[in-house]
Amino acid sequence: MITVENLTKRYAAKTAIDGMTFQVEKGEILGFLGPNGAGKTTTMRIITGFMPATDGSVRVDGFDVFDNPLDVRRRIGYLPENPPLYLEMNVTAYLRFVAKIKGVPKERLESEVSRVMERVSIADVKERIIAKLSKGYKQRVGLAQALLNDPPVLILDEPTIGLDPKQIHEVRQLIKDLAGSHTVVLSTHILPEVEQTCHRVIIIDRGKIVAVDTPSNLRFQLQGAQRISLEVQGPAFEIMSKLKGVPGVVEVRKLEEIDGRHRFQVEGELRKDIRSDLAHVVVQSGWGLYELQSATMSLEDIFLKLTTAEEAGKPESN
The footprint of another protein (CB under 8 A) covers 45, 48-52, 70, 73-74, 76, 78, 80-89, 93, 97-98, 100-103, 145
Residue closer to another protein by CB (options 43, 307) is 43
Residue closer to another protein by CB (options 75, 262) is 75
Q: In the complex, what is the shortest distance from the CB of residue 71 to another protein, in angstroms, rounded to a whole number?
A: 8
Q: How far apart are CA 264 and CA 14, in angstroms?
A: 43
Q: In the complex, what is the shortest distance from the CB of residue 67 to another protein, in angstroms, rounded to a whole number?
A: 14
Q: Please give the distance of CA 217 from its chain centroid, rounded to a whole number.
A: 15
Q: Report which residue type is found at 252.
A: V
Phi, psi of 11 (to 5 degrees): -105, 175
269 CB-side CA count, 13 A: 7
Q: Strand runs (DSSP E) across 71-173, as ranges?
A: 76-79, 153-157
**Under 8 Å between Cβ of 63 and 48:** no
Residue closer to another protein by CB (options 79, 218) is 79
Q: In the complex, what is the shortest distance from the CB of residue 60 to another protein, in angstroms, rounded to a whole number?
A: 12
Q: In the complex, what is the shortest distance from the CB of residue 271 to another protein, in angstroms, rounded to a whole number?
A: 44
Phi, psi of 162 (to 5 degrees): 80, 5
Residue closer to another protein by CB (options 68, 233) is 68
- Length of the chain measured in residues: 318
Q: In the complex, what is the shortest distance from the CB of residue 74 to another protein, in angstroms, rounded to a whole number?
A: 4
Residue closer to another protein by CB (options 48, 197) is 48
